[in-house]
Amino acid sequence: MSVTTKSALASELGLTRGRVSQYVSAGMPTLADGKLDREAALRWIAKKHHQRFGGNHGARRAKTLVSEGYAGRGADMPLQASYQRDGSVEWWRLGRDGKRIVVRRETQWQRLGFASAEAWEQWLRRPPERNHRYR
C-alpha cells in the first residue's frame, strides 16, 4: 500500500484536486487521516467512472494504470486474457516483478464447449456439410 495525497493523485491522473475531492464524496476509499491508498483509489476510479465524450481523461489514465499492473495487486484487479497459437486462452495478471502470472488456462476444445479432446477431434474429422442453398 502506498499512501498519497489528493494533490499527488490529481497530478498523476491529470485532474484537479477538486475532482479528486468529488471522487472521495462519491465513495472513493480513504485512510483515517484523510490521505489516500493510491492503489485502492486507482482501482476504484477505474471501476466506477467511465470516460464521457470530451472529458474525464483521469478515469482513462486510471484504467490504463490498473490494466498495466501499476495499481497494486487487489482482488478486484481484472485479469487479462490472451489467445495462444494453439487456440487456447490464458488469463493472467502481472506479478510484482512485472512478469505474467497465468491464473487459468483453457484449451480450445474446453473453450468451445466440447466434453473431451476426443469429441473435438471427432468433430474436426466430420464430413463437410453441403449447403443446398448455395450451389
Q: Is the dihedral of CA 106, 112, 115, 119 positive or negative?
A: negative
Q: Is the dihedral of CA 48, 31, 79, 20 positive or negative?
A: positive
pLDDT in tens, 9-37: 998 888 889 989 999 999 998 999 989 99
Q: Is the dihedral of CA 86, 90, 95, 98 positive or negative?
A: positive
**What kind and span of H or E run contains 26?**
none
Confidence of residue 118 (pLDDT cuts 50, 70, 90): very high
Within a 10 A sphere around the Cβ of 37, how many other Cβ atoms?
A: 19
Residue 79 in 3-state DSSP?
A: coil
Please report, for the chain, the start and end positions of each structural domain, with discontinuous segments joined by +.
3-67, 80-124
- Half-sphere exposure of residue 97, counting CA atoms within 13 Å on the CB side? 3
**What is the mean predicted confidence (pLDDT) over 73-99?**
75
- Half-sphere exposure of residue 109, counting CA atoms within 13 Å on the CB side? 11
- Entry pTM: 0.56
Q: Which residue has 502506498 as its cell numbers?
A: 2
